[in-house]
Amino acid sequence: MAQTEKLHIVLFPWLAFGHMIPYLKFAKLIAQKGHRVSFLCPPRNIDRLPKIPPNLTPLINFVKLPLPHVENLPDNAESTVDLPLDKMQYLNKAYDMLQEPVAEFLRTSAPDWVLYDYAPYWVGSISASLGIKTAFFSVSTAAALSFLGPSSVLKGETDDYRKTLEDFTVPPKWIPFPTTLAFRYFEIHRMVESDQTLSNTYNGVTELYRFGAAPENCDILAIRSCLEYEPEYIQLLQNIHGKPVLPVGLFPPSEDDNGDETETWRTMKEWLDKQEKGSVVYVSFGTEAKLKQEEITAVALGLEHSQLPFFWVLRTHSGSAATGLSQLPEGFEERTKGRGVMWNTWVPQLKILAHDSVGGYLAHSGWSSVIESVHFQKPMILLTFVSDQGLNARILEEKKLGYSIPRNEQDGSFSSNAVADSLKLVMIEDEGKIYREKVKEMSGLFADKDKQDWYLDNFLDYLKSHAASK
C-alpha cells in the first residue's frame, strides 16, 4: 500500500470502560489522520461512550454488535460495571459468541488492519484466515504484560514455575534487569479472594490463556506507552513474544476530552476556586474497584484527620452490580462540610485534575488515570485494588511519581492515620517534595502532543507499509 493511501482499521475492545475509553481515544486519533475506523461494540456501551466531535463522525463508524442471549446474563448488561463478579462468566460467554458476527463483518468490509483486545484472542486467527493483518492493542503497560510472561506459559503449554501466591510477589525470572515489578501479597491474595485472578476460567478459557493467545495470534503488538517511560520493558516484551512491539503514545488529554461547560462543572469550579492553590486532594478509584466498607471508613477518616480540603468521587455501582450503598462514618459529612465535597455520579475528571487548587490525587493507579495525573502535574497517593494496578504502582514508586499508603502485607488493611500521613507527606511535607518535583519533570513527556503525534505517525506508517495487498 502506498504511504499516502488511507487505511480502514477495525477496533474491537473488551467490555470494560477502562478498555473501551482508550480504544475510543485511539479511534479518534486515527481518524484525525484521515483514516477510516470501524469501532465494534454492543449497542448500549456505544450509547454510553463519550460523543465524537462532529468533524470525525464521517470517519468513525460505530458497529453495534448485540450480545447473544445467555442464561443468567441480564438483558441490559453489556459491560463489567453492569455486573457483580459472580456473573462475569456470562458476559464472557456472550462476548465469545460474537465470533461469527465479527467474522462476517470482517469478510464483508475487508479492512486493512484489525486492532483487538486481550479478551477476543480469537480475532487473530479469524483475521489471518481472511488475509487481514492484526495488532493486539494493549491498554496496559509493557511492564504489566512483561510480568505475565511468554504465551507458552500463559496458555499452559509450558509449565509456569509460579505455583503459590508468594511466587507472584517477586519479579519473574525472565526479567533480566533489577526491578521491583511484582504484586504485593495482599494484591494477589485479593484477586484470588474476590474471584478476579487471571487463572479463572470463563467460558472454558482462562484469562491467562487469553493474555497468551492474543499476542501469539497477531502480527504486531501495539502498546499505549512510549519509549521514554519504559524502554527496557518494551524491548523485553519484543524479546518475550518474538514480534514487533510498537508503542503508540500515551493519548494525552485533549480539549474535546473535557466535555462541554455544564452547570454541574460550574458548581464544582466555584468550590475549587475558593480553595488554596495545591491544597485539594482529588479522590477517585475508577470504575472497576469495589471498596470494602472498612476501606471506605479508613479513607473517610483519613481525609478528615488530614485537615486537607478534598473532592471525593464515591460511585455506587448500578444495576445488578449494586451491592448496597456504602456507609460513610457517622457524622463525617457534617464534620467536613465546606472542606470536603462528596460526589456519587460521573465527574469531568480532566477539568478537576487541571484545576490549580488540586495538589494531589488519591488514586488506584489505573493506567489511564496515571496518564491524566502526570499530565496535569499531580503527584499520586496510591491505593491499589484489582488487575494491573499493583504492577503500575511498583513502577510509579520506582520513578517517585506516586507513594503507596502503608498497608498490612497479608490482608491489605490500612489505617486512617496512614491515609492522613501519606496525603500530608506527598502534598505538603519536605520529605515528599521529590514526588511533587518528579511529577512536574515527567509531565513534559506525558503532555507532549508533538511526541504523541510522532508515535501515532510512526505506527500508522508501519500499518500502511505492512498492510496486505488487496
Dihedral of CA 36/42/43/48: which sign?
Answer: negative
Pairing label, strands 280-284, 310-313: parallel
Residue pair 14/119 in contact (Cβ under 8 Å)? The answer is: yes
Q: Alpha carbon of 351 to those of 7, 370, 464: distances in Å? A: 33, 15, 36
Residue type, 194: S
pLDDT at site 321:
41
Residue pair 20/78 in contact (Cβ under 8 Å)? The answer is: no
Provide the edge-to-edge strand list for the sheet that holds 36-41. Answer: 60-64, 36-41, 8-12, 113-116, 133-138, 220-223, 245-247
Tally of CA atoms within 13 A in the half-sphere of 190 that contains its CB: 22
Q: How far apart are CA 82 and CA 73, in angstroms?
A: 10
pLDDT at site 386:
84
Residue type, 240: I
The domains of the chain, with CATH numbers, are 8-252+448-466 (3.40.50.2000), 259-446 (3.40.50.2000)
Residue type, 337: K
Reading phi first (left if > 0) and then psi (alpha if -120 to 50, else beta), residue 266 is in: alpha
**Backbone φ, ψ for residue 179 (5° rounding):** -165, 160
pTM above 0.85, yes or no: yes
> Which tens digit of pLDDT belongs to each residue from 192-203?
765 555 556 666
Q: How far apart are CA 363 and CA 301, in angstroms?
A: 16
pLDDT at site 290:
78
Q: Residue 142 corresponds to which cell in the numbers above?
A: 509493557
The rounded radius of gyration (Å) of the Cα atoms in the chain is 22
The residue ranges of the chain whose pLDDT is under 70 are: 1-4, 193-203, 255-261, 316-326, 470
pLDDT at site 47:
96
pLDDT at site 259:
59
Return all residues near 303 (Cβ < 8 A) that are at least 6 apart: 281, 283, 310, 312, 336, 340, 419, 420, 423
> Which tens digit of pLDDT belongs to each residue from 65-82?
999 999 999 989 999 989
Dihedral of CA 186/189/194/199: which sign?
Answer: positive
Q: Alpha carbon of 53 to those of 115, 237, 342, 421: distances in Å? A: 22, 35, 31, 43
Neighbours of 405 (CB within 10 A): 22
143, 109, 139: which is closest to 40 by C-alpha? 109
What length does the chain have? 470
